[in-house]
A and B are shown apart, each in its own frame.
Chain A
Amino acid sequence: MSKVNIASGGIRRENRIRTSTGDKITSTVIYVIMSLLMLVSFYPLYYCVVASFSDAKAILANTKPLVAPIQPFTFHGYQLAVKNAGIPLGFRNTVSYVVLGTLMSLSVTMLGAFCVSRKYFFIRNIAMKLILVTMFFSGGIIPLFFVVRWTGIYDTWWAFTLPYLVSSYNLIIMRTFFLGIPDSLEEAALLDGANELQIFFHVIIPLSTAVIAVIAMYYGVGLWNSWYQSMMFQRKKTLWPLQMFLREVLIQQNETSQSTDMSQMSAEAFDRELVKYCIIIISTVPILVIYPFLQRYFVKGVMIGAIKG
Chain B
Amino acid sequence: MSQTKTSGLDVRQGYKEKNWFVRLGDNIKSHPWLYLMFLPVLAYYIIFHYWPMYGIIIAFKDFKPMKGIFGSEWVGLAKFTEFLNGPYLWRLVRNTLGINLGMLVFGFPLPILFALILNECRSVKFRKVVQTVTYMPHFVSSVVVCALMIIFCRSTGIITNLLTVFGVPKTNLLAVPRYFKTLYICMNIWQELGWDSIIFFAALTSIDASLYEAATVDGAGRWQQMWHVTLPGIAPTIIILLILRIGNLMSLGWDRIFLLYSEIVYETADVISTYVYRMGLQRMQYSYAAAVGLMNSAINIILLLSTNALSRKITESSLW
Contact = CB atoms under 8 A, between A and B. Distances in A.
Nearest to B290: A142
A143 B209 contact: no
B27 A165 contact: no
Contact of A2 (B4, B37, B128, B150): B128
A100 interface: no
Contacts of A127: 38, 42
Contacts of B212: 8, 11-12, 15
Contacts of A131: 45
A31 to B, nearest CB: 7
A186 B276 contact: no
Given A141-B293, A196-B31, A246 B38 contact: no
Contact of B154 (A163, A197, A232, A258): A258
A63 B281 CA distance: 38
Contact of B23 (A47, A109, A122): A122
B205 to A, nearest CB: 4
Nearest to A247: B143
A1 B119 CA distance: 14
Interface stretch (A67-75, A206-214, A276-284): A276-284
Contact of B55 (A33, A143, A162, A292): A143
Contacts of A190: 1-2
B222 interface: yes
Given A140-B290, A141-B277, A146-B55, A1 B202 contact: yes
Interface SS majority for chain A: helix
A234 interface: no
Contacts of B84: none
A269 interface: no
Contacts of A31: 121, 126
Contacts of A247: 143, 259
A264 interface: no
B120 to A, nearest CB: 6
Contact of B216 (A12, A243, A251, A276): A12
A15 B216 contact: yes
Nearest to A262: B156
Contacts of B36: 197
Contact of B53 (A4, A138, A227): A138
A149 B160 CA distance: 44
Given A196-B33, A246-B147, A143 B52 contact: yes
A179 interface: no
B134 A37 contact: yes
Contact of B294 (A45, A140, A162): A140
A191 B2 CA distance: 9
B250 interface: no
Interface stretch (B93-101, B176-184, B296-304): B296-304
A12 B198 contact: no
Given A34-B121, A147-B47, A284-B141, A42 B133 contact: yes
Interface string B187-217: 0001001100011011111110100110010
B238 to A, nearest CB: 12
B56 A225 contact: no
A246 B127 CA distance: 34
Interface residues of B, number: 111
A299 B127 CA distance: 15
Contacts of A276: 147, 151
Contacts of B142: 225, 227
Contacts of A65: 158, 162
Contact of B158 (A63, A144, A232, A292): A63
B306 to A, nearest CB: 13
Interface string A11-51: 11101100000010011001101100110111011011000
A139 B53 contact: yes
**Which of B4, B139, B206, B294: most chain A Cβ within 10 A?**
B139
Nearest to B288: A142
A250 B132 contact: no
**Which of A23, A119, A138: most chain B Cβ within 10 A?**
A138
Contact of B135 (A7, A151, A195, A295): A295
Contacts of B49: 134, 138-139
A123 B24 contact: yes
A302 B277 CA distance: 31
A168 to B, nearest CB: 9
A11 B56 CA distance: 57
Given A137-B53, A292-B132, A255 B262 contact: yes
19 contacts: A1-B202, A31-B121, A34-B118, A37-B134, A37-B193, A60-B156, A112-B40, A141-B281, A145-B280, A147-B52, A151-B47, A166-B41, A243-B141, A250-B146, A276-B151, A299-B198, A303-B198, A306-B199, A309-B240
Which 9 A/B pairs are nearest by Cβ-Cβ distance? A139-B52, A112-B41, A143-B55, A140-B293, A122-B27, A250-B147, A143-B52, A12-B212, A8-B209
